[in-house]
Every structure is written in C-alpha cells, then in structure tokens.
Amino acid sequence: MSLRARYRQLIPVESARTRLLEALGDHRVPAEEIAVEEAAGRVTAQAVHAAISSPPYHAAAMDGIAVRSSMTFGATETRPLLLPVDALQPIDTGDPMPADFDAVIPVERILEKDEGHEIRQAVSPRQHVRLCGEDMVAGEMILASGRRIRPEHVGAMLQANVCRLFVRRRVRVAILPTGDELCEPGQDPSDGRVIESNSRMLTALIESWGAEAKRLPPQPDVPKQLTTAIEQALADPGVDLLLILAGSSAGRGDFTPRLIESHGELLFHGVSCMPGKPVAAGIWAGKPVIGLPGFPVSAMVAAETLLRPALDRLSGCAVKGPERIQAKLNRAVALGRFDSGWVAAPLGRGAGAITTLSRAHGILRVATDSEGIPAGQMVEIELLQSPSEIFDGLLFAGSHDMALAVLDDALAGSSPGMGIHVTPLGSLGGLAALARGEAHLAGCHLLDTESGTYNEKAVTRIMGSAEIALITLAHRQQGLCLRPDQEPMPKDLPAAARQGLRFVNRQPGAGTRLLSDHLMTQAGLTPKDLPGYEHEEFTHVAVAEAVRSKAADCGMLIEAAARALNLKFLPLVEERFDLVLPRAMLDDPRITALRVQLESADWQATVEALGGYDTRESGSIRCLPKNKWSI
C-alpha cells in the first residue's frame, strides 16, 4: 500500500475544530495547588472564594481629619465651623478609622488655626470612608472554575487573603519536526536544506498561551522511523498532545495522515482555509495528534485555528478568539451578545475596587477631551477575555442573589466559557434593563401586596405586551440580621425601629427595599423612624458585612448572606426569586444549560446548604400571557 497522503475531503474550519474538540470530550489535565503569586495565566480548577473582606476594616478614603459627622452639621461658606483639636484626628488615605469616628474631611477643605480646624462644609456619615467589605466580602466568590487568571485576579485574591489555589496543570505539548531537508539554525542551508525554525516558533507560541512545549529531535521522512518516534513521544506520561511538523500535505514524503489512520483514528485531513489547508488531526494511543503544514505561515494559522482550541479544552477553559470587537455602548465594561450585535454595559468603579476590573470583560478608552459617549453609539472594546469566553455568557441585571454565583460556577464546570455576568441593579432596574434589550435575564422578587403573589404583575406592568417567561431560581427566606452579641433580638422590623437599631437599607428599586418599605408601611412607620434608612448597599452580602463590621446594627437580607458571615437571622418572609427573560430565549442553548443546572441534584444541594433556600420549583417555567393585567 502506498503511504502517499491524499486529501480525503476538505472540510470547513469550524467542522474540523468541532471534530477535534468532540474527540477530546471532557478530558482535562490534572489539577495542582500553587501560590497565588504564580497563578497569572493559569486556569482555575475549582472556585476561589475570599478568605477575608476587603478592605478588612473601615478605612479613610482621603487624607485629612477623621471626625464625628454630627459635629460638622451647620458648617457653610458663610458660617464656618471651628472644630477643636480634641474633636478630630489626623488621618491618611487607607488608615483604619478611629473608634467612634464616622467621616473624613479632606485636607484641602480644612483651614488650620491655632485654636482648631475651620471647615466650611458639613460631612455626612461614612463620607470619604471605605467601609469594610466595600471591594469584596469574606466568602464571596472571586473566580469560578474554568477561568483563566489575569493579573488583576491575582491582586483581588491576595487582597482577599487567598494565598494558594488549585489550577489545571499546564498542558504539555511535544513537537516532532519531520523532513529529510532540515538543518539546524546556524548551519549553512545553501545546499538545498531548510532551517528548522517552525518548532522554535511554535514553542514560543504555545508557551505564550500558557502551555509547555518540548521539542523532539527531527526525524527523516521514513515511515518506520516516524512511527517509532511518534509512539515513543505518546508513551511519555508527561505528554498531553503531539504536534507533527510537516508531512501533512500531499507530497511524496507526507506520511502523517496515513500513519495516524493506521495506528489510531484520523479525524480529518485538509481544511478549507488558506493558508493552512494541509492540516490533519486524530487520536493515537488515546492522545490527540495534530499534523501541521511545513510552511511557517500555514503552520501558524493552523495552530491558531486548531491547536489553541485543543489546548484550551484540555486546560478546562473557553476557546480563544479575536481580541477586539465592535459593540453598542449600553451606558471597566461587561459584554453580552444579542441577535442585534454586542452590547457593552459598564460595571462599578472606584480607585480601590480592583475586583471590578477582575470581573470586567473589556476596556473602553475615552479621549481626555471627550465629554462622554452617548448610549447607543458603536465603540471599540479592548478585550480582557476572548469573545468566545464572553459569547456563551448571559448578561444578568436585577436583584442580587447568592445562588447566582453557584449557578455561574456550575455552568462553567459543565460548559467551559459559559456563565452569568451579574450587574446588581435591583428588581425594578433589572426589568428596565431587560425591556431596553440590555440584558438576557433579569432577576426579580417583587411582591404584589394585593394578591400576595410574586413577580408576575410587576413584570407585566414593566414589560407591557412582550412575550415573557419566568424561570424559578429558588424560594428563599428574607428577614433581619444582627450580630451574634446583640440582645435582645427584635421580632420584626418595627421592633428594630423601636429599639433604635441602626438599619442598613437596599437601593431604591431592589425587591428587598420594596419589601422592607411595605413592612414599615404596614406598621405605620416612616423612614425617619428607622435610623440609617439612607444607608444603602447593592447586595445582600454587602448588607451583611455592614452589620458584621458595625457600620449598622441590623439589615434586611436573605438568610444565606447572614449565615455566610455568621450573623443571627430572624426569618420574616418566604419569597419566590424568578429569572425573567423573553419567551423566545427559552430555546437558546445557554438557557437550556441553565435549566439543566437548576434542576440538577448537585446544584440544588449546594444552594440549600447555603441556608434559607428551597429548590422545590427551581427550573420551572411560567409563561405570561399578553395583557394579563391592565398596564
């Protein structure tokens, strides 16, 4: 039998990639534990959670003087106020706030005098103060599994006192150059030989992708010698994938495809791509083998097209793609793919909020002379992640829930690259974002006080005649949290108000805010009756941290958040938390994968272990008929 290779059938690049990735299946390289300082570029093998809150104490956000805010009331430009020296304390940015001091006056707003410091503007409680847990709350998930670690992730983990983590071992690639005409760099090729540069070039490329490369001695175009060299390489337990350079075209000495076929499974030979057409791949001795063309440009294109996805699959992360995209600006940037194109949504910001950058998908650079970019304008995004990592993600806007982090991790574990990108806007804000086409999903837990039902009436009122579906995330307990040493435990929100406990509130539009307002109204209370009503946080864990760190005495939140920070919890209401989406998205593969996780025993057990969750209807769908209620 002639071993001369012939193209079996030129197949599309996507088909070739699909065949190769399907052949790899769920195989991943093993995990290993390393120091966080060494983790940049690696892929998480399991979720990473904050060991402490960041910052770990209430800290000054400005250089100046720490004061009691109540002592500054009444200070104006026309009626300055003189603060005695014993009523303040000098402080620098980042310093812990002294006990009993709750605000900072910046140094540029102070006029020093012999008898004290003169101020011309009052400060409010917590002004110019970074509260404990502002950036990250203890126990909060920093990274899900299957995420490639960026430098800002390293900073976020270290600030949260995470020193070691489990990552996937680097994928190890053996590179076997072939050809009778090869000579080494530095030798004279004028006699018709070719300098063997491809293996060095691909070694650098592979290592730039975070894998390891081992260059093997070149082999001549002799089938028996090639077979022996290939089998020896694949027998090495330290080799995860073998690259065979040259020998995959249709020349007289191109034997790679036939050797793969005769000793294993040939997945394809030849793709509809120029350059890079003469590429082959298969499975030999249970390991992937890829034959690349001999021309350097063809080898690079084929490696980017097929080798890189294979390395990503083996390392457990999403497949890489282009590095820039055009997106419509929704308002560091989160990205979501819609039928109409990409949408860019802004995240939070702040000089100390490194976590925001670690969660961002990309960066939008704005010229210094620009007064802003209007919503709806097309902009260029510099990506921090590949589009393929973002493409499978779902943009979520709305009410915050701790089960979403569990769902994000479960999705990433089952389908690398898939996940939920959460923007906590509150229930009403999430529905508004969904109505504007700026989110795939909205999180909602809005009580209709007349019917006692959750979500359906509010969703219909905001979404109008749109065809909408609701997927139940879970039922959950809402109530009050207090520190373990606080006594007595109030029986309800009015009792907390009567005890004079300082309250930490949720932002307007949050379902929890609407619930606490409803309970206050029922009891005949007003915001003035509840100290701290104006203190607002955007997540349940931030409310819990405010109580734990003594920025407040009590707050309304879900039981899981209270339990996560070892707080006492008084259950008041069981509510339904729904994921709201256009009915047409029910057929989206991402939603199908999401429902599979919601209905899985593993996800439900993990969520119920958080405390206060009941998953009896998780994953169930309710489709709202048009105009069920008048708008």
The model carries a pTM of: 0.76
Whether the per-residue pLDDT at 6 is higher than 80: the answer is no
Q: How many CB atoms lie within 10 A of CB 172?
A: 18
Q: Are 78 and 118 a contacting pair, CB within 8 Å? A: no
Greater model confidence, 188 or 594: 594
The structural domains of the chain, ordered by start, are: 13-28+170-315 (3.40.980.10), 31-54+134-168 (3.90.105.10), 59-130 (2.170.190.11), 321-389 (2.40.340.10), 392-631 (3.40.190.290)
Whether the per-residue pLDDT at 357 is higher than 60: the answer is no
User: Radius of gyration (Cα) for the chain, nearest Å?
Assistant: 30
Q: Say if strands 116-119 and 110-113 run parallel, antiparallel, or are unpaired.
A: antiparallel
Whether the per-residue pLDDT at 384 is higher than 90: the answer is no
What pLDDT shows up at residue 341? 65
Q: How far is CA 260 from CA 5, 230, 289, 476, in A?
A: 11, 10, 8, 55
pLDDT single digits (tens) 441-462: 999 999 888 888 899 988 988 8
What pLDDT shows up at residue 1? 33
Q: Are 211 and 316 a contacting pair, CB within 8 Å? A: no
Q: How many CB atoms lie within 10 A of CB 251?
A: 14
Pair of tokens at residue 552: 């407040």
> In whole angstroms, what is the distance from residue 209 CA to residue 41 CA?
8
> In whole angstroms, what is the distance from residue 317 CA to residue 321 CA?
12
pLDDT single digits (tens) 257-297: 889 999 999 999 988 876 678 899 999 999 999 999 888 87
pLDDT single digits (tens) 367-380: 545 656 676 677 77
> In whole angstroms, what is the distance from residue 380 CA to residue 393 CA?
19
Q: How far is CA 195 from CA 178, 183, 201, 303, in A?
A: 12, 5, 12, 20
Whether the per-residue pLDDT at 158 is higher than 80: the answer is yes
**Segment 144-172 mean pLDDT:** 95
**Segment 104-108 mean pLDDT:** 96
Q: How confident is the model at residue 174 (pLDDT cuts 50, 70, 90)?
A: very high
Alpha helices in 450-600 (DSSP H): 456-463, 493-498, 511-522, 540-548, 559-564, 589-598
What pLDDT shows up at residue 61? 95
Q: How confident is the model at residue 580 (pLDDT cuts 50, 70, 90)?
A: very high
